[in-house]
Amino acid sequence: MTRDIIDVQYPVLDHSESVANIAITKKTVTVANGITIKDAFSNKNNSLFIVIDNTANASSLLTVKAGDAYPNSMLGNIVIELPKGISAIQLQDLSRFQKADESIDLDFATGFTGTIYAIAKWAGVRPIAE
């Protein structure tokens, strides 16, 4: 299966660093492809949110795939119910799902229609402006 790729979207701080804003880009989900969130764990601060808009007429299921980077991936996949409408998902056991390339894979049940995006707060040292 060739998965569709999305990137984690980070806020842009204003010049005072008091306010952050994200211009969201949504990806339409193609169920047959699934989704890979590229660099999902590179922020390392547990601020990743996966936002899914289920536009189908009923609830659906999302499978968060077990990773291959840490031993607790042996706990396996987890299936989450997606009610009709918008869901914001925050994963607590990140290493269970983390792949060696710091991405995460998601599969959607047949019949799902909707969009997805991922956001996180930037963590780390920014370069000094000259």
The pLDDT tens digits of the residues spanning 52-99 come to 999 999 999 999 999 998 898 999 999 999 999 999 999 888 889 999
CATH topology for 4-12+26-119 is: Jelly Rolls (2.60.120)
Give the pLDDT confidence score for residue 12 in this predicted structure.
Answer: 76
- Are the C-beta atoms of 82 and 59 separated by less than 8 Å? yes
| Whether 4 contacts 30, CB under 8 Å | yes
Least confident of 10-24, 51-65, 107-121: 10-24
pLDDT digits (tens, 9 = 90+) for 17-33: 677 788 899 999 999 99
26-30 CB contacts, 8 Å cutoff, 24+ apart: 26/53, 26/115, 26/116, 26/117, 27/115, 27/116, 27/117, 28/114, 28/115, 29/4, 29/108, 29/112, 29/113, 29/114, 29/115, 29/116, 30/4
Q: Domain residues of the chain, as ranges? A: 4-12+26-119
Beta bridge partner(s), residue 9: 119
pTM above 0.75, yes or no: yes
